[in-house]
Amino acid sequence: MRSSSFRSAAATVVLYVVLSLLSLLFVFPLYWLVVSSFKPLSAIFRIPFEWWPVDWTFKHYKDGWRFMGSVTFARVYLNTAYVTIVSVVATVFTSTLVAFGFARLRFFGKNALFVALLATMMLPTQVTLVPTFLIFDYLNLIDTYAALYIGAFFGGGAFYIFLIRQFIMGLPFDLDESARLDGASTFRIYWSIILPLCSPVLITIVILSFTWTYNDFFTPLIFLSSIEKFTVPVAINTFLDEAGTGKVGVAIAMTTLSVVPLLAVFFAAQRRFMQGIATTGLKG
């Protein structure tokens, strides 16, 4: 008894050491961004790398936050928050609906449609850009926030649907069966039985769709023109000219800043992983 608890304590210590060492590896890119964002422009590229800034400056943050004319980065963050929140909420609802349909219901052409769903991830977007632009133009979506989140209302993309479908397929089928015998409607099975059991994957979906919408550069670049609608990545892009030099310090500072909301959301969301287990324990 005693030796086994000693062994597990030792194992925990080893685990901490290993995780901490690996963490050094993973934290480095962010570390590079953070220290560089406080260095004067001429020190960012100095060789060898300055592990700690010799001269500190907050200029990049001040210059960056001011952004452009009457539009400050506060506005940029409001835009991004709006688009991201709408996207995440819509994605969670529509993608689970569709995934439930593919995982649990039987209808004509399901397998073919499922392959079609997967296939939508396989055609490089570069070649569908022109017709997509025309369709968006026809629907009056050009230079609107809606252009950035409309996809979320149509299942959010094959990635999320496929992912949730895989998780639902891993849930026992008798749950549905017994609920159905009790007279539950299909929607009720989806809403009250399957969704709660999916919480780990729903958290994953929240994290992923948040990160992707938040960091998406190409969609806002193509479909937005008004600076007062810009989201974080396109706003950072305006500091970088073709030489890729000019305001590199500002771009680095604003990129560093942009990681903060992502970190907060990730950290808050992953805590729920643990709480999810208790609920899933019910099954089987």
Partner 1 sequence: MGKTWKRHLEGYLFIGPWFIGFLVFMLIPAGWSLYLAFTDFSFLKPPVWTGTENVRKMLDSDVFWKSLRITSVYALLSVPLHLGTALLAAMALNVKIRGIGFYRTVFYLPAFVSSSIGVAIMWKMIFSDSGVVNAVLTGIGLDRVKFFNSPDNALYTLVGINAWVLGTAMLIFLAGLQQIPRELYESAKVDGAGAARRFRSITLPLLTPVILFNLILGIINAMQVFTNGFVITRGGPAQSTYFYVLYLYEEAFKFFRMGYASLLAWVLFLIVLLLTLLTLRSSSAWVFYETEMKGGKR
Partner 2 sequence: MFSNKRFALPAILALFVLLSAVLGACSSKSGGEASSSPSPSAASPSQQSQEPASPEKKDPVTLEISWWGGDTRHAALQEAFKLFQQKYDWITVKPTFSGFDGYADKLTVQLSTDNAPDVFMFSRALTQQFGQSDVLLNYYEHKELIPALSELDPIMQSPYYKFGDKLIGMPSGITSTVLVYNKKVFEEAQVPVPTDDETWLSLGEKWSKVHQANPKVYGDAGWFYMPEAYPLIMKQLGGELIDGASNPPKASMHPDQARIVWTWTEKLWEENAIPRDSSDTIGFDAGNLASALSAASVIPSTAAMTEDPLGFATLPKTFDGSGPKISMPPVPTSLWGIDARTKHKEEALLLVNFLLTDKDAIKTLKVETGVPAVAESLEYLSAEVFGGTGVESEMLDVVKRSQQGSDEYWLPAQPLGAPDANAAFQTAFEKYLFKQVDIDGFLAEAEKTMNEKLQEAAK
Q: Which residues in 35-64 contact partner 2 (CB under 8 A)?
A: 41-42, 44-47, 63
Question: Pick from 7, 9, 12, 140: which binds partner 1 (CB under 8 A)?
Answer: 12
For 40: left if phi > 0, alpha if psi spans -120 to 50, otherwise beta; the answer is beta
Site for partner 1 in 27-56 (CB under 8 A): 27-30, 32-33, 36, 45, 47-49
Find the DSSP H helices in 170-244: 174-181, 186-188, 195-197, 199-215, 218-223, 232-237
Site for partner 1 in 64-93 (CB under 8 A): none
Q: Could you tell me which stretch among 31-39, 171-179, 181-189, 225-233 binds partner 2 (CB under 8 A)?
A: 225-233
The position carrying tokens 């287990």 is: 277
Q: Does 8 bind partner 2 (CB under 8 A)?
A: no
Strand partners, 71: 68
Q: Which does 49 bind (CB under 5 to 8 A by kind): partner 2, partner 1, none?
A: partner 1
Q: Does 112 bind partner 1 (CB under 8 A)?
A: no
User: In one letter, which amino acid is 228?
Assistant: E
Q: Does 243 bind partner 1 (CB under 8 A)?
A: no
Q: Which does 177 bind (CB under 5 to 8 A by kind): partner 1, partner 2, none?
A: partner 1
220's tokens: 């806002």
Report the nearest approach of partner 2 to the CB of residue 184 (Å). Answer: 17
Q: Are 203 and 270 in contact (CB under 8 A)?
A: yes
Q: Does 183 bind partner 1 (CB under 8 A)?
A: no
Report the nearest approach of partner 1 to the CB of residue 65 (Å). Answer: 16
* Euclidean distance between CA atoms 47 and 164, whole angstroms: 47
For 67: left if phi > 0, alpha if psi spans -120 to 50, otherwise beta; the answer is left
The answer for residues whose C-beta is within 8 angstroms of residue 23's C-beta and 6 or more apart is none
Report the nearest approach of partner 1 to the CB of residue 72 (Å). Answer: 19
Site for partner 2 in 249-268 (CB under 8 A): 250
Q: Are 238 and 246 in contact (CB under 8 A)?
A: no
The answer for residues whose C-beta is within 8 angstroms of residue 184's C-beta and 6 or more apart is 192, 193
Cα angle: 138, vertex 140, 143; to 5 degrees = 125
Q: Are 137 and 181 in contact (CB under 8 A)?
A: no
User: In one letter, which amino acid is 50?
Assistant: E
Nearer to partner 2, 22 or 78 (CB): 78
Q: Which does 85 bind (CB under 5 to 8 A by kind): partner 1, partner 2, none?
A: partner 2
Q: Are 226 and 21 in contact (CB under 8 A)?
A: no
Site for partner 2 in 131-170 (CB under 8 A): 133-134, 137, 142, 145
Q: Could you tell me which stretch among 52-60, 61-69, 71-79, 269-277 binds partner 1 (CB under 8 A)?
A: 269-277
DSSP-derived 3-state class of residue 278: helix
Q: Could you tell me which stretch among 3-11, 109-117, 175-183, 244-252 binds partner 2 (CB under 8 A)?
A: 244-252
Instruction: Give contact residues for partner 2 (rule: CB under 8 A).
Output: 41-42, 44-47, 63, 68-71, 75, 78-79, 81-82, 85-86, 89, 129-130, 133-134, 137, 142, 145, 195-196, 199, 202-203, 217-218, 221-222, 225-229, 234, 237-247, 250, 272, 275-276, 279
